[in-house]
Structure 1
Amino acid sequence: MAKYQTLLYYCYSTIANAEQFAADHLQFCKSLGLTGRIIVADEGLNGTVSGTTEACGTYMNAVHADERFASTEFKIDEVDEPSFIKMHCRYKAEIVHSGLRDPHIIDPKKQTGVHLDPNEFLEMKDRDDVVILDVRSNYEHSLGKFKNAVTLDIDNFRDFPSKINELAQYKGKKILTYCTGGIKCEKASALLLHEGFEEVYQLHGGIINYGKEAGGKDFEGKCYVFDNRVAVDVNTVNPVVISKCHNCGKTTAKMINCANPECNEHFTQCDECGWELDGCCSNECKSHPRKRLYDGTGYYVKVPQQINLNKEGRGAFIKDLRPLA
């Protein structure tokens, strides 16, 4: 049995004084020895945390003991080591950035698509009157997606609303939305309903839950996750790899960040091209003076970078962009 766990969760629930809550919650997580990334907003929580089985159990109990978050569902992965290096808990305007902040138009606490459990989703997805819609970003669905899913050319979820007109052709169909853990579908499905789509559904618990409860059937490739693991296997029924190396086109499931921090491109790259280009997306980036040391993983931790010296010889510092974010 693994010594550590990684928890993925979200909860739409109004938080009064959410900024102070974020600061207090950070200290609580640190007291348990957890690492991870949590976003707190007035509308709720969105987090992935990792730690010992005991610490994760204490954390889940504490979240459920708060009546605001009593209904929170945790997706639990057993892991050999913590999936993060540090603990971050930050206050933001939304728990998933969509730009849809008017609660009179979009409020997941009031209206979303019909939630389908993984086996219900599995039973419906291949019907002729159904469209499977991936609401994630390009780098996510390029690594893995459901067979025959409609994907959108978006770099971030905040671009999703601009694609509604492209989806109008499917208004006579049942729309089955999905994402990693379910949080993006809450707002995506709500927007689709607001825009006149009549039958909108969402995969409850997302791809992660589908893998655990339905074996991941027909999910092609790997699922991108926002921690040190980068990608996880989902399909134990009929798995395939669909992503291609950015440089040579060879089939590969490995996703990295460009070793040039000023590029920091997020892309798939085979090991051969990785070592040849020293973890960079191009020869131009390979020759960049600030290129980071490539160790074969393509994952880089924030480190201070001295950029100038004052008269006393003291440096001012900036931080490398955090990859895989």
Structure 2
Amino acid sequence: MSSVANISAYKFVSLDGLPELRETLLARAREDGLKGTILLAEEGINLFLAGASAGIESFLGVLREDARFADLEPKYSYSDAVPFRKLLVKIKREIIRMNHPAIRPEAGRAPAVDARTVARWLAQGADDAGRPVVMLDTRNAFEVDEGTFRNAIDWRIERFTQFPDAVQAHRDELRGKTVVSFCTGGIRCEKAAIYMNEAGIDHVYQLEGGILKYFEETGGPGYEGKCFVFDERVSLDPALAPSRA
């Protein structure tokens, strides 16, 4: 196995004392020899970190001592080199920007569907109620170009803040179908699914854990190409191997 562990994780949870939390996490990640990015906002945490497995597990152990992060479940992949050049811990307005502050996943998640169920639905061509299933890519166009689910809906958005307007422009094509929103690791498709539910679109789910969890649990049936990631690996194939080691 490659020597560097890479994790991505997020959680929507109300956070206060952000400056103090930033300093605590920065010091701990440095102590554990990690590089990458941690984003903090009042709505939660989003992180991408890499380092030796022992350092990753040490950091996660300390993070989970905080009750707000006790159930944080990262997604793992491995590489031969650390794909980040430095360590950053930033305080942001949103951990994933949508410009719709009323969308707060902590207040109630949209229904989620696990990777194995999605794989089964795609294989049988419908959900368990017999409705046609459409996969809705919530990522930016340049990410989609690296790979996506076969026949996925792609609205060619350039940034996630454009997603709500795209929903309003295309909502009729979702009518009568089961919609599974997906993204890299789950954070964007979670907000996307909540927005669509609040917009009155029926039968909307989020893909639990995003593409990376789908690769991890199923090997990627129905997915064509690779999954773009925001680090020096560039993209991961369905075996979670990087296109650049």
TM superposition score normalised by structure 2: 0.91
Instruction: Kindly tell me the number of residue pairs found equivalent between the two proteins.
Output: 236
For structure 1, the 5+ residue unaligned runs are: 237-253, 255-296, 298-325
1:118 matched residue in structure 2 = 115
1:131 matched residue in structure 2 = 134
2:181 equivalent to 1:177: yes
**Which of 221, 232, 238 is residue 234 of structure 1 equivalent to?**
238
1:4 matched residue in structure 2 = 4
Q: Aligned equivalents of 1:43 and 1:20: distance in 2?
A: 16
Q: Aligned equivalents of 2:87 and 2:65: distance in 1?
A: 22
> 1:159-178 to 2 correspondence within 5 Å?
159-169=162-172, 170-178=174-182
> 1:190-205 to 2 correspondence within 5 Å?
190-205=194-209
Deviation at 1:24, TM superposition (A): 2.5
Deviation at 1:187, TM superposition (A): 0.6
Look at both structures and tell me which one has the larger radius of gyration over its CA atoms: 1
Deviation at 1:2, TM superposition (A): 2.6
For structure 2, the 5+ residue unaligned runs are: none
Alpha-carbon deviations, 1:295-324, whole Å to 9, x = none? xx9xxxxxxxxxxxxxxxxxxxxxxxxxxx
Q: Aligned equivalents of 2:147 and 2:204: distance in 1?
A: 22
1:158 matched residue in structure 2 = 161
C-alpha contact 1:219 1:235 (8 A) present in aligned 2: no
Alignment root-mean-square deviation, CA: 1.7
2:226 equivalent to 1:222: yes
TM superposition score normalised by structure 1: 0.69
AA aligned to 2:49 is V
> 1:11-22 to 2 correspondence within 5 Å?
11-22=11-22
Alpha-carbon deviations, 1:155-197, whole Å to 9, x = none? 1111111111223111321111100000001110000000001
Deviation at 1:97, TM superposition (A): 0.9
Alpha-carbon deviations, 1:15-72, whole Å to 9, x = none? 1122331233112211111000111101110010000111001011112221101111
More moved, 8-17 vs 117-126: 117-126
SS of residue paired to 1:161: helix
Percent of matched pairs sharing the same residue: 31
2:56 equivalent to 1:53: no
The structure whose residues are more often helix, as a share, is 2
SS of residue paired to 2:105: coil
> Higher relative contact order at CA 8 Å, sep ≥6: structure 1 or structure 2?
2
C-alpha contact 2:113 2:208 (8 A) present in aligned 1: yes
Q: Aligned equivalents of 2:88 and 2:10: distance in 1?
A: 15
1:273 matched residue in structure 2 = none
1:26 matched residue in structure 2 = 26
Alpha-carbon deviations, 1:250-307, whole Å to 9, x = none? xxxx8xxxxxxxxxxxxxxxxxxxxxxxxxxxxxxxxxxxxxxxxxx9xxxxxxxxxx
Q: Which runs of 4+ in 1 moved over 6 A?
A: none
